[in-house]
A and B are shown apart, each in its own frame.
Chain A
Amino acid sequence: MQMPEPNQTIISQRDALAQGLRQIVGKDWVISDDAQRRPYQCDGITAYMAMPLLVVLPGSAQEVQAVLRFCNEKGVKIVPRGSGTSLSGGALPLEDGVLLVTSRLCNVLAVDEHNRVARVQPGVPNIKITEAVSHLGLCYMPDPSSQLISTIGGNVAENAGGVHCLKYGVTANHILGIQAVLMTGEMVELGGAYLGAAEGELDLMGVLTGSEGLLAVVTEIAVRLEPVPEVARVISMSFASVEEACECVGAIIGVGIIPAGLEFMDRKVLDAVSVLIKEKFDDRTAALLLCELDGTAVEVDALVGVVSDVARGQGAIELKVSTTEEERQRIWSSRKLAFSAIGKLCPDYYCTDGTIPRNKLPEVLNKMADMSKKYGLDYANCFHAGDGNLHPIIMYDAAKPGDLEKAEEFGADVLIACVDAGGVLSGEHGIGVEKRDLMTHQFTEVDLQQQQMVKCAFDPKDLLNPGKMFPTLCRCAEFGRMHVHNGNLRFADIPRF
């Protein structure tokens, strides 16, 4: 993974910069010691590591402002980080950049139950929002698998999804307002404090959501709260072939039902999981779908009937429907344990994330089988089928020279196949550094350039999280006075990194 060449002049000023930042956040909250900086070298992807120049943990939005203003003046880059759970290397540090960690900004500031809004700081872990409002019968809907610890600020930056985003939408559908600090230290308020408050405003909040820390640092978020569904039941459906399971996904949505969640697991995952949960799956099963339905009791009972009929019509060989909450949890446990179960089969695995139209599932899954042969690496499939969000798990051994590179190439091939099938590079993990160099496969030069011009409007010096998302650095100074003809860039010979 190639990153922009670190600026040695900045690195040589480390002590002075640390001094300046300590005056802003206090001496305890700037980490410059070698030993203590090391645990910050990576986020959720350990394959990519870099030592941050300094780690800074501001304690208020005002301190975030001051830190950004200070770094902007000194020309120092900033990498924002929440809990460090990114699976695309979004919070990978830069050797000449300050890692700005939001973990101390972890308060739920206010709950407005009448407007169903909570105002929270960016370092609040996703689940803590629901915990803070559950006594009101409310919850925060988006539920990425990392929700126990991934922060809401990080969720906004990556536009995180989760099992329930099929029915309820992703992060972007659940935030109402944002307070953010631009690289200059200027604070902006986008959106509003209640649903509909942002009507008539240019949707800059939408621009910021999913911008992977390239445009601004979010310091406060107003999130939508939803009533907790009265009842939820899950149907576990076994199929004798992967194709039948994939077709059933389309058929369920086709009859007009949007399940709360619709998940796919292949035989390899089931075998791995059955060791952990000590439960056998039917020998004929090649793939399993878990379909969750929620709502009022009457509604759910009716939907369970319809989905069961559809599944049988699609050739399901076995159906199990939860009747109690414990049973529902038990059926879900197989899905929740899937990744750790696979982790026990191999020394390392690499999980990537692409999205395709539902009807292309069989085609892309078949291609994966061919790729596995080509690279000589085993793989397993466990993913959010309802929205076509693939998470192929590629097994490898990091201690074997060349294995990681093979796994990365395998992953890249899968993503290219997704784009070729009319899909996109990411469903929820983001682009980060992991998929950065594949962006040219999904977007033309002009597309990318337009996106980079948005980046330049927010951060003309390219100091916020540079080296992520775009395969080339932003040339903001040029964009201002340049015409692009037929996608032909000036200075086309400037090297990519």
Chain B
Amino acid sequence: MLSHIPQAALDADPNVQLAKDIIGNCVHCGVCLSRCPTYAVKHEENDSPRGRIFLMKDMYEKGGVPDAKTVEHLDRCLTCLACEAICPSGVEYSKLIAHGREYVEEHYKRPLFQRAVRELLVRLIPNARLFRLAIFGGRLGRPFRGLFSGTLRAMLDMVPTNPLPAPSPVDRPQTFLPAPQAGKAVKPRKRVALLNGCVQTVLDTAINEATIRLLQRHGVEVVVAAGSGCCGAPAEHMGDEAQALPLVKANIDAWLREADGPDGLDAIVINTSGCGTSIKAYGHALRLDPQWADKAARVSAMARDITEFMVEIGLEKPATPTGLRVVYHSACSMQHGQRIVNQPKDLLREAGFTVLDVPEGYLCCGSAGTYNLLQPDIANELKERKLRNIRSVHAQIAASGNIGCMTQLAGEAGLPFVHTVELLDWATGGPEPVALKGQKLAAE
């Protein structure tokens, strides 16, 4: 699509030039509409990728302060990237919307309430201690949820009612050696860094524990690098580069210290696909910073989802194949963001499970990072639709590779919801996942 962005704007900001090039690749064919969750809910061009590309084109052409309606429609995008995955012309929507949001944050003054909520989320989520505190606060506020609406109510609704697990000892910086075999220490096949994440260390410690056991059992040395933490995605999704970049740089430093250390690093393993998408894009995020560009690109090149990594090293034969029916929910950041489609399902099959797909599997569940807090109406509609689809296949267990989706769906799915690695760990000799305890599951 031809755009008429003023030359001065193109010269002033390389990201605007990039936006122009990306817009230029769009031929307005409309195929992206078929995969867009907000279009599925709203049926309106402005709430579709093609519509948003048009809105961003206008925003850059006009320059200055974007209008409120444009911001509203850009905010409604879940960044699920289903559009980018299906686009026949290879339009890099992820980059376009990321820079579009940065432009909005730079030029548009949000109403006070919106600003406060965003500021709060950007600060809370990456910090496990604050996040834990906020959950306790949320519990106190929960009885009064009826008094609130919109985002505040969504936040109170999101507060987990089950007791939080105690902080896990595995989430402290340390190194885990491969599991000994026949009582003897094993020389590691590979050495990887594990991103233990931010929210995950508070909400569900079992995921990292299972990941570490699984890797150890497969002869891999795992290091939780000192200084690594939140990947920066929550801030980045809200267009807040200033908050995101320090986190990004801290991770790069922490991992490269390991990679350049005496033992080296074969991969950075991530078990939350939302974070994986973000880390794989570090190279792009810092490409214009001469001090960081190369380092960021190195980190992105080493990043692997746990399922990608397990396919590379090969899964052990399962101890006892259970044949249980597992419905696999592919997170958007997994299937669209990282284009990891078959690996998790193949691994689950190898591990002895019967794997079922979710109908309309391409549609987002509405979680999308902080989206369910900022856009509760659309998020809830998508959640209900996803739950209906998950229930429709009559599985015994649901599995996913992203804590965000699990938090969004687990409570109401009507079947136990676990992380893919918990099942792989269980099948190859680890303990039964907590969510399955007392379920009396048997193969049909």
Residues of A within 8 A of B (CB): 31, 33, 35-36, 38-46, 57, 83-85, 101, 103-104, 106, 123, 125, 127, 146, 148-150, 336-337, 339-340, 343-344, 347-348, 398-399
Contact = CB atoms under 8 A, between A and B. Distances in A.
Interface stretch (B28-36, B155-163, B295-303, B307-315): B28-36
Given A340-B89, A347-B24, A83 B46 contact: no
A103 B30 contact: no
Contacts of B46: 31, 36, 39
A83 B30 contact: yes
B44 to A, nearest CB: 7
B189 interface: no
A146 B88 contact: no
Contact of A44 (B25, B28, B90): B28
A146 B86 CA distance: 12
A85 to B, nearest CB: 5
Interface string B1-27: 110000000000000000000001101
B98 to A, nearest CB: 20
A119 to B, nearest CB: 20
Closest 5 A/B residue pairs (Cβ): A39-B54, A39-B51, A340-B88, A148-B34, A103-B43
B58 A46 contact: no
A38 B34 contact: no
Nearest to A338: B88
Contacts of B34: 125, 127, 148-149
Given A35-B67, A146-B30, A57 B43 contact: yes
Contacts of B58: 35, 38
Contacts of A127: 34
Contact of A46 (B25, B28, B70, B90): B28
A46 B69 contact: no
Contact of A146 (B29, B51, B73): B29
Nearest to B45: A39
B55 interface: yes
B55 A42 contact: no
Given A39-B50, A125-B34, A344 B90 contact: yes
Contacts of B90: 340, 344
Contacts of A106: 43
A85 B29 CA distance: 6
Contacts of B86: 148
21 contacts: A33-B69, A35-B67, A38-B54, A38-B55, A40-B45, A44-B27, A44-B28, A44-B29, A45-B28, A46-B1, A83-B30, A83-B33, A84-B30, A85-B30, A103-B44, A103-B45, A127-B34, A146-B31, A149-B33, A336-B88, A348-B2
Interface of A is mostly: loop
Nearest to A399: B2
A339 B46 CA distance: 26
A453 to B, nearest CB: 34
B104 to A, nearest CB: 13
Nearest to A84: B30
Contacts of B45: 39-40, 84, 101, 103
Contacts of B43: 57, 103-104, 106, 123
B55 A148 contact: no
Interface string B40-78: 000111100011001100100000000101100100000
Contacts of B73: 36
Contacts of A36: 46, 69, 73
Contacts of B28: 42-46, 84
Nearest to B51: A39
Contacts of B89: 340, 343
A127 B28 CA distance: 19
Nearest to B69: A35
A205 to B, nearest CB: 27
B198 to A, nearest CB: 36
B31 A148 contact: yes
A333 to B, nearest CB: 11
Contact of B55 (A35, A43, A83, A149): A35
B70 A343 contact: no
Contacts of B27: 44, 46, 343
A434 to B, nearest CB: 14
A425 B54 CA distance: 31
A46 B27 CA distance: 7
Given A35-B67, A38-B55, A46 B2 contact: yes
A336 B1 CA distance: 21
Contacts of A123: 43
B73 to A, nearest CB: 8
A44 B30 contact: yes
Contacts of A148: 31, 34, 86
B30 A398 contact: no
A67 to B, nearest CB: 16
Nearest to A337: B88
Interface in B89-129: 89-90
A328 B267 CA distance: 36
A348 B89 CA distance: 11
Contacts of B33: 83, 149
B41 to A, nearest CB: 11
Nearest to A81: B45
Nearest to A33: B69
B25 A343 contact: yes
Pick the most buried of B30, B51, B70: most chain A CB atoms within 10 A of its CB. B30
Nearest to A149: B34
Nearest to B70: A35
Nearest to B54: A39
Contacts of A46: 1-2, 27-28
Nearest to B32: A149
Nearest to A344: B90
Pick the most buried of B45, B54, B88: most chain A CB atoms within 10 A of its CB. B45
Given A84-B45, A348-B2, 12 more contacts: A31-B44, A35-B55, A35-B58, A35-B70, A39-B50, A57-B44, A85-B29, A103-B45, A104-B43, A106-B43, A150-B30, A340-B89
B55 to A, nearest CB: 6
A42 to B, nearest CB: 6
Contacts of A399: 2
A322 B54 CA distance: 41
Given A33-B69, A347-B24, A398 B55 contact: no
Nearest to A404: B2
B393 to A, nearest CB: 13
Contacts of A344: 90
A57 B43 CA distance: 9
A30 B318 CA distance: 58
A148 B32 CA distance: 9
A103 B38 CA distance: 13
Contacts of B55: 35, 38-39
B255 to A, nearest CB: 31
Contacts of B2: 46, 348, 398-399
Nearest to A398: B2
Contacts of A343: 25, 27, 89
Interface string B329-340: 000000000000
Pick the most buried of B24, B31, B73: most chain A CB atoms within 10 A of its CB. B31
Nearest to B36: A149
B362 to A, nearest CB: 11
Nearest to A82: B30
B93 to A, nearest CB: 15
Contacts of A103: 43-45
A337 B70 CA distance: 32
A344 B58 CA distance: 24
A363 B253 CA distance: 66
Contacts of B51: 39
A340 B2 CA distance: 17
